[in-house]
Amino acid sequence: MSGSLLLQTLILGVLLGGLYALLAAGLTLYFGVMRVVMIAHSAFLILAAYLAWFFHQQTGLDPLLSLAVTVPLFFVVGYLMQRGLISRLRPATLTMMSVLLTFAIALAIEGMLGFLFTGTQRRIQLGYSGSSIEFFGARIAVVKLIAFGLAAAALVALFLLLKMTRFGQALRATIQHPEAARLLGVNTDRIAGFGFGLGLATAAIGGTALALDSTIYPSLHWHWIGPLMAIIVVGGLGSIPGAAAAALLLGVTQSLLQLPLGTTWAQTVFYVALFATLLVRPQGFFGGRLAQRF
Amino acid sequence: MTATIPEQGGATAPTVSLATKGLTKSFGGVRAVDGADVTFHKGKINALIGPNGSGKTTFFNCVTGMIKPDSGRVTLDGRDITSKPPHRIAAAGIGRSFQLCRIFPRMTVLENMLVGVRSTSVLHRLGSSRNAGDIAKARELLRRVGIDHLEQSEARDISYGQQKLLELAGVLMVDPETIMLDEPAGGVNPALIGRIGTLVRELNAEGRTFVIVEHNMDMVMSLSDHVVVFDRGRPIAEGPPSLVQNDPRVLEAYLGV
Amino acid sequence: MPSVSDRAAPAHVDGEAPGRSRFDLTIVGGKVVLAVVLGALVLAFPMMATDAFILSVGVVIASYAAFAVGWNFVGGFTGYISLGHAAYTGLGGYGTALLVLELDLNPWVALVAAAVLVALLAVPIGIASLRVRGASFVIVSIALVLILLLVAQSWASLTGGAQGLRVPRPFGPDVLRPEQHERFFYLNVALVAVALAVWWFIDRSRFGTGLKAIREDEDKAQALGVPTGAYKLAVFVISAFFTALAGGMYALWFGYLDPIFQFSILIGSYMVLMSLLGGIRSLFGPVLGAVVVGYSLEFFKVHYGDSQFHLVALGLLLALVVMFMPDGVIPAIGALVDRFRPQRSSIREMTAEELLAHNASIDDKSAGTATATDDERDLATVPPRSGKDLR
């Protein structure tokens, strides 16, 4: 195996890991504020990708511009979903019932996409779709770099929002200790809604990034939810830096394993990591105090 | 019986029932329990008091196995029970109630009682839970706490006070030698506090050891034989209630002087 | 020893469970009649079916019932919702087929052997997924289906990959199609009956009481000495066994396995929907749910073909059940019957004290608030208990 191929694979792994990290951050937010495993996250991801594709199809403009619509839209949808649906479930069975509810939403989204756009595979063709950059003999497609840049920028923005703003402080307080946050005057219900909105906004950004260089079809979300859930478990449910670290690690591992094993078998690395984590260290490898009893 | 038994050490040194040595548990950077050495006396009513956030509940949860301590040892009658899973600790003879009272809301009062039936063999576990022996024992205990007329009600439908009594009766079903109560007087009216106090005394007279975490000072002072005061994750004073009451360190911890 | 409470001392005179009124006897009688009629209808179904297609729908529904009852061992008793039980139907199917094809086993021996193997496999899976509460269990259940789909598609030399796998029919070629359907219908009904009998047996055992306590409050159950880990694992393995049997039976009937349909998240979600709709805490809930959902699915297929719209319908229905009827139909009917129940206490000899308490508890039920006997009336305004998930 040539060095440049290895380097190329490594870079591709990092680029993929960036997208995983962004999406896993979204999943972590939901879990943090509500202890909810949001199965529909990846369905919204594919929905956003379809919206980007549709936008490009109709207007001929760059799909990145669709973000101006999808990000606020998804934020509102996420907020409404938390306030109107998730928060109405009985606390005693919240974990299980919220999984079912978000699963049902995922099915409905998949069905709607299939109904509206048929099961045909779709792909955005852009002027720069075919171009790539050479880097020490490794060829990296421009669209992948753009997708990674988008994901990285969104992650940095999310990080700054959580660390620097009052809202971020309230959100972190809600995640770490809801009762204490309430005592300090934080409206944890509203904050939980915003947390959901933020989470869904990451799906909007991720979906657009995905649409740039991938073929999309309605049932694609099942290929994403498995790896994403594995990532948040390995990272330690509820820890955003943990999720990001696990995402990069697993993304790179997957890429590297593709060389000897092929694409399909390489994907099993997520599941192997998931089972191994639960057997050896159920609270995850990168933080995650929240996970202890879930 | 209202007077507490003064314990002056010497020849009649009390037997140790439950004890911890260097018990430590931290969450993030906060040491909730910090190297606690505590002993509780066998056959006595022990109380564990302390200001809010002093680590009592975490201590309680470490002892009963709900939380694994970071370090330190827990012993019961000299046997090591550190970090054993809660059901093993229950089998070793410690029964516990929960803060704010936990029962099985959608099971009937009688079914709630039957959960605590001890099993030792697979065959016994597969036997009918609605057998005469278990049910008679359950009814006897329900009668004892005074809620036997509710046995067919779903536990979520009875009042909070009745749920507290049900929780206590459910714990007794396991026949524990040591009973740990987390705020038995929390959220209940004075009449019921009195009733719970009487029950505790009677059960104690039958030879059961009690460890009670409580905020209600009247109850602690009138009920307990031995008081341990917690502050910042470790005991700062212990002894008979009258002594502890006047300990300057205790006043300081409570009043924050 | 002296009774603590001097108030409620005289208990029930006859020591029998209270509330065995004539009304209850009527209900019990009604239930028996209903069971006999329904049982007869089920057994007579193949004779009433007008053609092979309707008969095949009956087989599908009976299969679904077997899936749902298998699922409900873990879902109903422990409250752990598995979205990935298709893993066990799929493994049961592939296991049976491969044991027949590769080892030339008798199909019925292969069916049971495959289910046993799946149950063994469920042990490590259960250990990994049940150790941590709730969320991880669901995650693993879904992941398992996805991983098995990957493996079944990729390992073409064994499973036939996307080409699928043909399963030899257990009955010779001289047995015609309607005859096949009829036999498999009865086989599935028998499987459901056995599974229900086991479910009932567990339900009334001490083991079952422990499991139900886990469903209600796992920490509390463990503090009372219930070995929660072992109990959950045991019932999980039983569930995998019965689900695998049902899957193997389906494979023998259908005669063809395709990874996409065997290891499908959809099949797993059917099981959840069926059980939840009927009521996971009742014996016959999953069966009732299977009949309703199975019939609707077939209806949809016939009238709307393979349109993606059935996904939307399934999603909406599941969401509605979760939001508004999480206890299912059967408990809802039970609650309805209870409303016609005459006042239990009135027909019994009671002390005034008991009567008061009884009325209070009945009031509680209808009002949904906590009021109680005289000396505890002030307790109504306590803070709500924190749920299982809050800590």
Answer yes or no: are the C-beta atoms of C230 and C71 closer than 8 Å: no
Pair of tokens at residue B106:
């959608």
What pLDDT digit, counting tens, does each position of C196-236 carry? Answer: 999 999 999 999 999 999 999 999 999 999 999 999 999 99
**B162 contacts C372? CB cut-off 8 A:** yes
Q: Give residues with Cβ within 8 angstroms of C29, minimum separation 6.
A: none
Which pLDDT score, from 0 to 100, does residue C343 have?
52
Identify all chain C residues contacting B194, using CB atoms and an 8 Å cutoff. none
Mean pLDDT value of segment C265-281: 90
Which pLDDT score, from 0 to 100, does residue A74 have?
95
Kindly give the residue spans of alpha helices, DSSP state H, lying in C155-203: 156-159, 177-203
Beta strand pairing call for C256-257 and C165-166? antiparallel
Tell me which residue range forms the domain holding B230.
Answer: 14-93+176-257
Residue with tokens 């045909």: A120
Which B positions 182-221 lie with beta carbon below 8 A of chain C? Answer: 187-189, 191-192, 195, 198-199, 202, 206
**C80 contacts A230? CB cut-off 8 A:** no
CATH number of the CATH domain containing A191: 1.10.3470
SS3 content of chain A, % helix, strand, coil (to 5): 80, 5, 20
Identify all chain C residues contacting B187, using CB atoms and an 8 Å cutoff. 379, 382-383
Pair (B166, B238) in one structural domain: no
Identify all chain B residues contacting A92, using CB atoms and an 8 Å cutoff. 105
Q: Does B166 touch chain C (CB under 8 A)?
A: no
Burial C6-18 (b: 16+ CB within 10 A, else e): eebeebbeeeeeb
Which pLDDT score, from 0 to 100, does residue B13 have?
66
Pair (B209, B145) in one structural domain: no
Q: Report whether pLDDT(C369) > 90.
A: no
H or E element in which residue A138 lies: strand A138-141
Q: Report whether pLDDT(B12) > 70.
A: no
- Model confidence band, residue B191 (pLDDT cutoffs 50, 70, 90): confident
Instruction: Give how many domains chain A has, as a whole number.
Output: 1
The whole model's pTM is what? 0.84
Among candidates B87, B157, B195 on the partner chain, residue whose Cβ is nearest the Cβ of C364? B157
What pLDDT digit, counting tens, does each position of B128-183 carry? Answer: 888 888 999 999 999 999 898 898 999 989 989 899 999 999 999 999 999 999 98
Q: Searching chain A, which residue's CA lies closest to the CA of residue C81?
A: A96
**A275 contacts C269? CB cut-off 8 A:** no
Q: Does B51 touch chain C (CB under 8 A)?
A: no
Which pLDDT score, from 0 to 100, does residue C172 have?
78
Q: Report whether pLDDT(B9) > 50.
A: no
- Model confidence band, residue C36 (pLDDT cutoffs 50, 70, 90): confident
Pair (B69, B169) in one structural domain: no
Identify all chain C residues contacting B119, using CB atoms and an 8 Å cutoff. 206
Answer yes or no: are the C-beta atoms of B24 and B183 closer than 8 Å: no
Residue with tokens 């669209």: A143
Helix (H, G, I), strand (E, B) or coil at C305: coil
Q: Does B105 touch chain A (CB under 8 A)?
A: yes
CA separation for the pair C286, C282 (Å, rounded): 8
Question: Other CB atoms closer than 10 Å to residue C204's CB: what's the count?
Answer: 15
Among candidates C79, C319, C389 on the partner chain, residue whose Cβ is nearest the Cβ of A35? C389
Q: Report whether pLDDT(C355) > 50.
A: no
Identify all chain B residues contacting C223, using CB atoms and an 8 Å cutoff. 64, 66, 86-87, 90, 95-96, 98
Half-sphere exposure of C37 (CA within 13 A, CB side): 6
| Closest chain B C-alpha to A288 CA, distance in angstroms | 10
Looking at the domain assignment, is residue B3 inside a domain?
A: no
**A289 contacts B105? CB cut-off 8 A:** no
Which pLDDT score, from 0 to 100, does residue B256 have?
60
Pair (B180, B255) in one structural domain: yes
Choose one of B151, B175, B199: the last residue of a domain.
Answer: B175
What pLDDT digit, counting tens, does each position of C106-124 carry? Answer: 999 999 999 999 999 999 9
- CB pairs below 8 Å between A and B: how many? 3
**Residue C243: which of C51, C93, C367 has the closest Cα?**
C93
**B106 contacts C379? CB cut-off 8 A:** no
Burial C120-158 (b: 16+ CB within 10 A, else e): ebbeebbbbbbebbbbbbbbbbbbbbbbbbbbbbbeeee
- What's the whole-number average pLDDT of chain B? 86
Picking from C81, C121, C129, C132 by the largest number of A CB atoms within 10 A of its own CB, the best residue to mutate is C132
Q: Searching chain C, which residue's CA lies closest to the CA of residue A116?
A: C308
Share of chain B above pLDDT 70, in %: 93
Report phi then psi at A201, rounded to 5.
-65, -35
Burial class (CB in 10 A: 0-12, 13-18, 19+), C19: middle
Pair (B160, B225) in one structural domain: no
CA separation for the pair A201, A192 (Å, rounded): 14
**A279 contacts C136? CB cut-off 8 A:** no
**B152 contacts C18? CB cut-off 8 A:** yes
CATH number of the CATH domain containing B222: 3.40.50.300
Q: Report whether pLDDT(B81) > 70.
A: yes
Tell me which residue range forms the domain holding A127.
Answer: 3-293
Mean pLDDT value of segment C14-35: 70
Looking at the domain assignment, is residue B140 inside a domain?
A: yes
Pair (B183, B251) in one structural domain: yes
Instruction: Give how many domains chain B has, as a whole number.
Output: 2
Answer yes or no: are the C-beta atoms of B176 and B95 closer than 8 Å: yes
- CB pairs below 8 Å between A and C: how many? 164
CA separation for the pair C266, A218 (Å, rounded): 14
Pair of tokens at residue C254:
């259908």
Answer yes or no: are the C-beta atoms of A236 and C135 closer than 8 Å: no
- What's the whole-number average pLDDT of chain C? 81
Domain formed by C55-335, architecture? Orthogonal Bundle (1.10)
Which pLDDT score, from 0 to 100, does residue B75 have?
92
- CB pairs below 8 Å between B and C: how many? 174
Report phi then psi at B152, rounded to 5.
-90, -5
Picking from C151, C322, C324 by the largest number of A CB atoms within 10 A of its own CB, the best residue to mutate is C322
Rounded alpha-carbon distances, angstroms, from residue B213 to A256, B124, B234, C81: 56, 35, 14, 36
Q: Does B28 touch chain A (CB under 8 A)?
A: yes
Bridge partners, C317 (sequence order): none
Domain ranges of chain C: 55-335
List the chains bordering chain A where 3 or more Cβ pairs fall under 8 Å: B, C
Q: Report whether pLDDT(B6) > 80.
A: no
Pair (B201, B191) in one structural domain: yes
Which pLDDT score, from 0 to 100, does residue A45 have?
94
Pair of tokens at residue C338:
């209870």
| Predicted confidence pLDDT, tens digits, chain A (294 residues) | 577 788 888 888 898 898 999 999 999 888 888 888 899 999 999 999 999 999 998 888 888 888 999 999 999 999 999 999 988 888 878 888 888 899 999 999 999 998 888 878 888 887 776 777 777 777 778 888 888 998 899 999 988 888 888 888 888 888 877 777 887 788 888 888 999 999 999 999 999 998 888 889 998 898 899 899 999 888 877 778 888 889 999 999 998 898 888 888 888 899 999 888 888 877 777 654 544 433
CA separation for the pair A34, A189 (Å, rounded): 10
What pLDDT digit, counting tens, does each position of B19-35 carry? Answer: 999 999 887 677 888 88
Bridge partners, B230 (sequence order): B235
Q: Report whether pLDDT(C134) > 80.
A: no
- Model confidence band, residue C391 (pLDDT cutoffs 50, 70, 90): very low
Choose one of B155, B175, B195: the last residue of a domain.
Answer: B175
Q: Does B53 touch chain A (CB under 8 A)?
A: no
Q: Give residues with Cβ within 8 angstroms of C165, minimum separation 6.
A: C94, C97, C98, C101, C159, C256, C257
Choose one of B122, B147, B175: the last residue of a domain.
Answer: B175
- Strands, E assignment, chain B: 16-27, 30-41, 45-49, 71-76, 79-80, 94-96, 178-182, 209-213, 226-231, 234-239
Residue with tokens 């016994």: B124
Identify all chain A residues contacting B27, using CB atoms and an 8 Å cutoff. 289
Q: Report whether pLDDT(C329) > 70.
A: yes
Which pLDDT score, from 0 to 100, does residue C208 have?
94
Is the dihedral angle over the CA atoms C180, C183, C189, C194 positive or is it negative? negative
Looking at the domain assignment, is residue B5 inside a domain?
A: no
What pLDDT digit, counting tens, does each position of B96-110 carry? Answer: 998 888 999 989 999
CA separation for the pair A52, A264 (Å, rounded): 27
